[in-house]
Amino acid sequence: MNGSQWTVPTRIEIQDCVCVCVCVCVCVCVFSSNTTRKRDDYLEWPEYFMAVAFLSAQRSKDPSSQVGACIVNPENKIVGIGYNGMPNGCDDDLLPWSRTADDRLDTKYPYVCHAELNAIMNKNSADVKGCTMYVALFPCNECAKLIIQAGLKEVVYLSDKYRDSPEMTASRRLLKMAGIHFRQFQPKRTEIVIDFNSINHPGMLSCASK
């Protein structure tokens, strides 16, 4: 429009205008839906607890196996976290981390503390009776003994890749005899990525999942 003159818009101009309007409407709708309604893709409790176990595993200095465990009480409160590593007060630079050696004393196995043991020992409550443990690997027979003695009621594990080993066979036998339920975690997403920079961008998640 020029003064009192008006020109008929061309077809292209009309299409451009429609596109702009549609884009604006879509953006407004997306923004509104993201800010006025709760998210549908939030982590459910089991996913959250298993993710905590996996995150704690990143603290492990073991070059071949990083395992984490998370203990949760009936109120869905975390009461213990642990990961595999050498005992407190023992210099892990002086102890072996190898999986194989001619002498077993030159491997990590006689020395390392498993994630389950550390999670129980790191408890921030009087005890862990009636609690559930989330752990990356099915517990070995030694950890099963600790789980039983600590009074845990359930074990949720992700991988059972050592299922056929004598240690795991003994572990299942002990847990069944003690009446402790164990089940394999079935993830709904393949990964959860933590992005520290996302906190600076309103509307973006601090973790992305697939």
Residues annotated catalytic, as ranges: 116
Cα separations (Å) of 206 from 48, 51, 142, 200, 201?
14, 14, 37, 9, 9
Burial group, residue 97, by CB count within 10 angstroms (0-12, 13-18, 19+) = middle
Q: Looking at residue 200, what DSSP letter applies?
A: G
Distance CA 58, CA 136 (A): 12
Distance CA 118, CA 36 (A): 42
Torsion sign (Cα): 56, 61, 65, 71:
negative
Tokens of 77: 């409160």
Query: Do the beta carbons of residue 81 and residue 122 sit within 8 Å?
Result: yes
